[in-house]
Structure 1
Amino acid sequence: MKLPERIEQFLNEGLAGKSDATKRGYGYALKSFADWLEGSDADLDTFVRSDVQFYVQYLEKVKKRSASGINRDFMAIKAFAHWQGRPDVVADIRRTKAPSITTKAPEWLTPSQRKQLIRDVDRAGNKRDYAIVMTLLGCGLRVSELVALNRDDVVMSERKGTIIVRSGKGGKQRIVPVPSETRRAIERYLEERTDDNEALFLSNRRERISVRTVQNMLQQYGVHPHQLRHTYVKGLVDAGTPLATIMSLTGHTRAEMVAWYSTPSEDEKQAVVERLFLD
């Protein structure tokens, strides 16, 4: 997607140090806002506070966007306005409050669902897809982090391995250990590669794989990438892993995000009440 020069300037100057994923998200949000402004005889340099308020209402009532999605777009507009030195145009904007992260447990796979997914992908026979699933489950990466991996970001030996995540959220780097089954899956995939492409995972066109391709592949098995990351974090929480260790492994910067995984799922609550008459 071709972005206006003004947006490109903001991404390079105002978001210096931010991850590529953050820049893409902000760029897309600002491009959508700029397109909408054209219909009201305004642009990114002349919009006023009422434009922002009406745009938020447009996203809510016409586009039927979720509260979290609207807030993400608004944060992009807010950052852009502050970069312009015009914080007044985004002051006190009314918008629907997103649900608290602690009110509902994230979606993770049960142990049996996790095993079934591994079996299904393994039986399909695609070594790349199997390596991707095992990396997401075994290392808890965000899909944007996974597709950005290069071969030299993975260091493995017979007894241990590590992945260097260079494109973490907020531009932060971290090192994640790789369990043995994930190491084996990656090694088997790389054994069939004959190219010299630096990317760890390639598309069928022999180019770096995209987020959308990974999402579409997982959709065939009835899951999405974030479910696999949630499953990884849930496993760490259930194993009693110290909070500092979980935050270091996952790249979470807020303790309440990790606490979120202690929220019981609907299935877990149902199982508890069913046992009331069995014990």
Structure 2
Amino acid sequence: MGKKGLHGKNACNQPAQTLNSPFWRGRALVYLKLFFFCRTHIGGTMTLLTQFSEYLISLDRSPATVRGYLTDLSVFSRWLGRDLTTLGPADVREYRTSLLKTGAAAQTANRKLAAIAAFGNWAAQNKILPGNPALNVKSVETVSLAPKWLDKKQRNALIQAMKDDLQKARIRYPRLWLLRLRDTVVVTLLLNTGLRVSEVSNLRVSDILMTERKAALTVRAGKGGKQRSVPINSEARRLLDEWISIRPDSGSEMLFLGQRGEKMQVRSVQLAVSRLADLAGLKDVTPHICRHTFAKSLLDNGVTLEKVAALLGHESLNTTRLYVTPGERDLEEAVARLVG
């Protein structure tokens, strides 16, 4: 049977192969690319950043984390203009000032400084530097803003827009219907499981478990390489059942596929959310807002912070608290209750 993308003939998907070998082969390829990135980006045969990347890999840091550190450190190295073995506290302080002068957002500046601090800590431990040059450099103060989520009315509007879009495609644009179903399933999962956008993109068919009594998905490539299980409610299960039964057979293990039968990329997930939100009359909706919506809905329904943290894959409850910080509307409603 030839490979089929989302515009091909609908065929029942065969059970996915075990993902152990392909998963680790794919992970090894990512790390190999990171390795050669370090070797060639600055020009050295075995640069400090190459060694640092190997250290991060030994700690089982995710490819995204390693890549982010290397990118930020490479930019810093070019700014510094000399060997990183000469790095000192004054350099880091000056770089911090430079970031602020050039208009870098506080979160961006702190991310770059965190990469330098991680490198400095490793370099100090290995006697490459006398100490961590970023140790006493203050992070940039950030303004704490309440997270944005969809309220019940907005969430319902998004769900209705997905239903209308799917029905319209079924009647008027049958060639696009499978794509529309995929997008509907993706957004429904985001709203009902709170997965990160990268976690949705990386889902495999074998990550989905559905029996008469239970439905759950396994996140194998969570942030920091952590694995967790997330229950699937009836709303998401119904759509997942339909999607898996008619998902195109492209030879890929990935649950969600692109138009040519390849893995659905993160950018495609973001565009799907944005398109469907626009149909619902909602602006600036992202997969992360869907994640916040999931967390806030759980809290509003009496789920404990500890359980919400476990479902979101948070190690710290403080991170989860940021997701459910009362918004302006929550505060207005609280004050309104005082009126007898």
Regarding TM over 0.5, the answer is yes
* Equivalent in 64, 84, 89 of residue 49 of structure 1: 89
Identity of aligned residues (%): 37
In the TM superposition, 1:105-124 aligns within 5 A as 105-124=146-165
**Stretch of structure 1 that moved more, 2-11 or 108-117:** 2-11
Aligned equivalents of 1:68 and 1:239: distance in 2? 31
Number of residue pairs matched by the alignment: 271
Structure 1 residue 141: Cα displacement:
0.7
* Residue matched to 1:133: 187
Matched, 1:79 2:134: no
Residue 244 of structure 1 aligns to a residue in which SS? helix
Letter matched to residue 62 of structure 2 = S
Aligned equivalents of 2:235 and 2:120: distance in 1? 48
Matched, 1:235 2:304: no
* Equivalent in 184, 192, 198 of residue 253 of structure 2: 198
Matched, 1:207 2:248: no
Letter matched to residue 248 of structure 2 = R
Contact 1:161 / 1:178 at 8 angstroms: preserved in 2?
yes
Contact 1:14 / 1:80 at 8 angstroms: preserved in 2?
no
Letter matched to residue 288 of structure 2 = H
Aligned equivalents of 1:200 and 1:12: distance in 2? 31
* Residue matched to 2:24: none
* Residue matched to 2:242: 188
Structure 1 residue 32: Cα displacement:
2.2
Residue 185 of structure 1 aligns to a residue in which SS? helix
- What RMSD in Å do the two structures reach over aligned CA positions? 2.3
Q: Any gaps of 5 or more consecutive residues in structure 2?
A: 1-33, 40-46, 167-179, 278-282
Q: TM-score normalized by structure 1?
A: 0.87
Structure 1 residue 159: Cα displacement:
4.2
* Residue matched to 2:171: none
Structure 1 residue 219: Cα displacement:
2.5
Q: Residues 92, 229 of structure 1: CA spacing in aligned structure 2 closer, same or farther, 3 A cutoff? A: same
* Residue matched to 2:67: 24
In the TM superposition, 1:86-101 aligns within 5 A as 86=129, 87-99=131-143
Q: Residues 43, 112 of structure 1: CA spacing in aligned structure 2 closer, same or farther, 3 A cutoff? A: farther
* Residue matched to 2:280: none
Larger Rg: 2
Letter matched to residue 105 of structure 2 = S
Aligned equivalents of 1:142 and 1:254: distance in 2? 16
Aligned equivalents of 1:19 and 1:170: distance in 2? 5
* Residue matched to 1:104: 145
Deviations 1:43-76 (A, max 9, x none): 44443333322222222111x2221221111111
Contact 2:38 / 2:70 at 8 angstroms: preserved in 1?
no
Q: TM-score normalized by structure 2?
A: 0.72
Structure 1 residue 150: Cα displacement:
1.4
Aligned equivalents of 1:255 and 1:54: distance in 2? 34
Contact 2:147 / 2:324 at 8 angstroms: preserved in 1?
no
**Stretch of structure 1 that moved more, 65-74 or 90-99:** 90-99
* Equivalent in 100, 107, 128 of residue 68 of structure 1: 107
Aligned equivalents of 1:272 and 1:114: distance in 2? 21
